[in-house]
Chains A and B, each alone.
Chain A
Amino acid sequence: MTTRMFGEPIARREDPRLVSGDGRYLDDLGAEAVAAAFVRSPHAHARVVDIDVSGALDVDGLVAVYTYEDLTGRVAEPLPLLIPHPALHAPRTAYPLARDVVRHVGEPVAMVVATDRYLAEDAAERIVVSYETLPPVVGLAAARAADDVAAHLVQEVGDARAAIEAAPNRLHLELEIERSASMPMEGRGVYARWDDADRSLRVYTSTQTSTSVRFALAAKLDVPVDRVEVVTPDVGGGFGVKIVHPWPEEVLVPWAAMRLGRPVKWTEDRREHFVSSAHERGQLHTVEVGFDDEGRLLGLDVDFLHDNGAYTPYGIIVPVITATQLLGPYKPGAYRVEFRSLYTNTVQVTPYRGAGRPQGVFVMERTMDAIAAHLGLDRTVVRERNFIQPDEMPYDHGLIFQDGRPLEYDSGDYPALLEKLKKLVGWDEFAEYREQARAEGRRVGIGLACYVEGTGVGPYEGAHIRVETSGKVVVSTGLTTQGQGHETVFAQITASELGVPIEAVTVITGDTRRFEYAVGTFASRAAVMSGNAVALAARKVRAKALRIAGEALEVDASDLEVADGVVSVSGSPTAQIPLSTVAVLSNPLRYAFDAETQRATQFAVGGGMDRPPIDEDDEPGLEATDYYSPIRSTFAAGMHAAVVETDPETADIRILRYCVVHDCGRLINPRIVEGQIHGGVAQGVGGALYERIVYDENGQLLNASYMDFLMPYASEVPKIETDHLETPSPLNPLGIKGAGEAGVIPGAAVLASAIEDAEGIVIRKMPISPSELWSMRT
């Protein structure tokens, strides 16, 4: 069947637009708007004593200058706490503009609006802010000493400490991951237009959640929700940082547009992104583990510190994910995890692709390697012995996951994944290769890391599908797109479910004018959530089409099938009716607008005179809306292996091979899944070997540019070899699991394992640079 698209590795339909310069990003919009710029704190912690704006007033083209004192209504209140949690006992969110105290370098203090960005920045430079500096807290060591605790959470299953105490073998590990940041190619940006006559606001914003921005802005700005539209244009990467909302700028730009009665735009520059968006990853973990002589876990006790930066708008999602997802594919025996989320005078911490999992996987996989080393066992053997077995699914860990629901794995086959990985990388033959390399004076090592990733968190997503009288199919879903390929995969699902050519399908995302109820694109959830909603909506449309076609063809709907946009009677291909005609018939008309629609007007249609043109339980139009809301997350899994070579003299680290086996249930489009994995691996390599956010003790970010914040180029990203396993999820109609974050998650863990193997030096902290490795040798 030509319309069978689900599972096909078709090329991404959005790419010709995106790679040929036809993408339409935030800064491509609003040429007529006045521009905003922000005066930001140069101090990590200070009291704002005075703001002298007089110098800015002479700048030609200045439109407005705002400080906290100017803010009105709820705009003057702190930004929302997006995800409250009972353990987050001391949450703190920022004011849109600093009120009294600044808590990190980059915090906005004043907003300037001028006729263009150059003038806005010129004016911003002339604003003199006097500060009384306060002592900053920077880094986890200082945070531990300062003890400014935002949240404290303990979860325990069984008596882990007693189990460890009684275990024949025990290990203690200190494991650290440094702070980093996701660095989307496009930074944040907001463009707002207020129509004073219509009393309505339209906001374009580079976000991962347009619907939530809409609700937040309606509340902040005291405008009825139905008068607010939020549109997300093409987005040049999100990676989690753009799920945070509303940003100070996201509130202030529309607020200023309303006050000024003019369109206002702000596009973040790179340095602003470094110092005023969000970071992640920085955590320090202490592990106590007890295990038997075969390497089976008996008890695991993890205590970690999470640096949440200056504010906690996104709650404690990151450490909660670390606490739960570090368990990976293993049965931990008794498990206890405790964390403290600590305030520091640095940029706030919110989820970055992987969201606490890279840290958790690093902790667990380093522990597995340590156990193997302690017992003299092969690293794969220790893992195998601790795997949850396929016949133990669904497996309930007895913990609460990030969605507030049980940490219960729905399906998975970890032994099969490990077998595939060993075969793909040639695990059992590596010893031979190592000897051969050694004979050549080369140092090589192999590592592996396993993970399980909860994907597709709720509460829900929805979709609306309409078949137009032209036969075109328009799919609208409320979540946003940052390059994942939604225009392709949602069209594939629609084409398959509805029986239409994919060329007929258009997909619209992130536009509240088209779909109002949605959650957002994060946590590897779009395919699972919106994908299933699209399927459900398509099934409803198909059922309606069959009913209408059955009436028109005078056959039972169950005898009909749809293919290539045509409804036909099974086994009788001449008795058929195109979906475009069904769409015409679905909407009884008084007024025709073309020759085709004349068929739906009142004197043209037949039918009984004892029924109204639209039945009581029916609606006009060949369209339907449906929602998918899962009972809990679905758990994807994967395993990575890497072969590295380290230079005996310079300690340069080269990745010779990088192998991925991956199970995200049924694949909608294998090519897109591979692309997601490739991008994720690139970020994982960056996080393991290059990228880190470096603050000095005064809270100054020392590498706030691409000159010093190293991101891998194509030359640093290895060729990625992949293999897939498909264990369908029993939780959703399509049997799929999320894949967006998978590639990045085990990066630090697998490369630490491989470097340790090459060097014989214990690695407990990532990322690692050649200089650090070189120092560790001596």
Chain B
Amino acid sequence: MKVTGDATLNGPVDRVYAMLNDPAVLVKTIPGCERLEQIGTDAYRMVVTAGVAAIKGTYSGEVRLSEQDAPNAFVLKASGSGAPGTVEATARVTLAGGPDGTTMVSYDADAIVGGMIGGVGQRILATVAKKTAGEFFLAVNGELTGAVPSTVEGEPAVYTRPHVPTANAPDFARGVLFGAAAALLGAVVGAMVSRRRRGD
């Protein structure tokens, strides 16, 4: 499945790039991200809760950033699995300066979605992925514009989500994003809304 999209963020390219590579920011802005653990250079293990309404699942996986060309581009590879399915995604994220100190972020992703979600929800995945990506960027924008003060200081190896929902992601159970291109992975996982318990 291929997903492409873009978003305009209210901050300069350098700052946006830094935020999209900052686990402390990501853990707060990715809807449903519970835990982010650094396991190497530019490599993280994550736990994400995603779903819609009463239907939730917990997914665990790894994210690796590569081909960094700060502040213009990077590549993110993510793999995750949970009861409703599996996701393997590769996303190329590019940043470009826009007018009035803004940044245009574009992502171009290819994802393999397996398991239950692959069979029953794939038709709507791209749509939901783009929607949740939009929510993610909105949350990042909130961080950029200082609407939400950062609650994580320093550089700990494990980032956990503050137990206060951020203003810009009030319903973080509705979808998941992960980093700028992790937005894609999260979106895909977030799209696992069609999972059914049994006996359908």
Which chain A residues have a beta carbon within 8 Å of chain B's beta carbons?
37, 42-44, 105, 117-118, 121, 124-126, 128, 133, 267, 269-271, 274-275, 696, 698, 700-705, 707-708
Contacts and interface: CB of A to CB of B under 8 A. Distances in A.
A700 B122 contact: yes
Given A117-B199, A121-B198, A700-B118, A42 B123 contact: no
B112 interface: yes
A118 B197 CA distance: 8
Contacts of A701: 118-119
B120 A707 contact: yes
The 7 closest A-B pairs by CB, nearest first: A704-B119, A42-B115, A125-B83, A42-B114, A700-B118, A42-B86, A705-B120
Contact of A105 (B1, B118, B196): B118
Given A42-B86, A118-B197, A271 B120 contact: yes
A708 B119 CA distance: 10
Most chain A CB within 10 A, of B81, B115, B118, B122, is at: B118
Contacts of A117: 198-199
A37 B122 CA distance: 24
Contacts of B86: 42-43
Interface string B112-140: 11111011101100000000000000000
B71 interface: no
B120 A700 contact: no
A564 to B, nearest CB: 49
Contact of B112 (A267, A269, A698, A703): A698
Interface in B52-89: 57, 81, 83, 85-86, 88
B92 to A, nearest CB: 19
12 contacts: A42-B86, A105-B114, A105-B115, A126-B83, A269-B199, A269-B200, A270-B200, A271-B116, A700-B118, A703-B123, A704-B118, A705-B120
Contact of A700 (B81, B113, B197): B113
B119 A105 contact: yes
B119 A700 contact: yes
Contact of A702 (B57, B83, B116, B119): B119
A274 B200 CA distance: 12
A42 B83 CA distance: 10
Nearest to A705: B120
Given A42-B115, A118-B197, 6 more contacts: A269-B200, A696-B1, A700-B113, A700-B119, A704-B119, A705-B120
Contacts of B199: 117, 267, 269
B2 to A, nearest CB: 11
B114 A698 contact: yes
Contacts of A700: 112-114, 118-119, 122
A39 to B, nearest CB: 10
Contacts of A44: 114
Contacts of B88: 133
A403 to B, nearest CB: 36
B114 A702 contact: no
A271 B119 contact: yes
Contacts of A43: 86, 114
A118 B114 contact: no
Nearest to B79: A133
Nearest to A270: B200
B20 to A, nearest CB: 28
A705 B195 CA distance: 11
Q: Is the interface of B mostly helix, strand, loop or mixed?
A: mixed
A365 to B, nearest CB: 33
Contacts of A125: 57, 83
Contacts of B196: 271
Contacts of B120: 271, 704-705, 707-708
Nearest to B197: A121
A42 B197 contact: no
Contacts of A705: 119-120, 200
A271 B118 contact: no
Given A43-B86, A698-B112, A708 B123 contact: yes
Contacts of A128: 81
A696 B112 CA distance: 9
Nearest to B85: A42
A462 to B, nearest CB: 38
Contact of A271 (B57, B83, B200): B200
A126 B60 CA distance: 12
Nearest to B118: A700
B112 A274 contact: no
A611 B200 CA distance: 67
B198 A269 contact: yes
Contacts of A269: 198-200
Nearest to A698: B112
A294 to B, nearest CB: 50
A293 to B, nearest CB: 51
Most chain A CB within 10 A, of B1, B113, B123, B198, is at: B198
Contacts of A707: 120, 123
B114 A274 contact: no
A701 B118 CA distance: 7
Contact of B123 (A37, A267, A271, A702): A702
Contacts of B115: 42, 105
B83 to A, nearest CB: 3
B121 to A, nearest CB: 9
A426 to B, nearest CB: 42
Contacts of A703: 119, 123
Nearest to B84: A125
Interface string B181-200: 00000000000000011111
A362 to B, nearest CB: 28
A700 B122 CA distance: 9
Contact of B122 (A118, A270, A275, A702): A702
A278 to B, nearest CB: 16
Contacts of B118: 42, 105, 696, 700-702, 704
Most chain A CB within 10 A, of B57, B88, B122, is at: B122
A121 B88 CA distance: 24
Nearest to A129: B81
Contacts of B81: 42, 128
Contacts of B116: 42, 271
Most chain A CB within 10 A, of B1, B88, B120, is at: B120
Contact of A275 (B112, B113, B119): B119
Nearest to A118: B198
Nearest to B123: A708
Nearest to A269: B199
A629 to B, nearest CB: 42
A121 B112 CA distance: 24
B130 to A, nearest CB: 18
Contacts of B198: 37, 117-118, 121, 269
Contacts of A698: 112, 114
Contacts of A105: 114-115, 118-119
A269 B116 CA distance: 12
A118 B123 CA distance: 27
Nearest to B111: A698
Contacts of B113: 700
A525 B65 CA distance: 61
Contacts of A42: 81, 85-86, 114-116, 118
Contacts of A118: 197-198
A701 B114 CA distance: 9
B197 A274 contact: no
Nearest to A275: B119
A45 to B, nearest CB: 11
Nearest to A121: B198
A33 to B, nearest CB: 16
Most chain B CB within 10 A, of A118, A700, A702, A707, is at: A700
A121 to B, nearest CB: 5
A637 B165 CA distance: 70
B114 to A, nearest CB: 4
A702 B116 CA distance: 10
A696 B198 CA distance: 24
B21 to A, nearest CB: 28
Most chain A CB within 10 A, of B1, B57, B114, B122, is at: B114
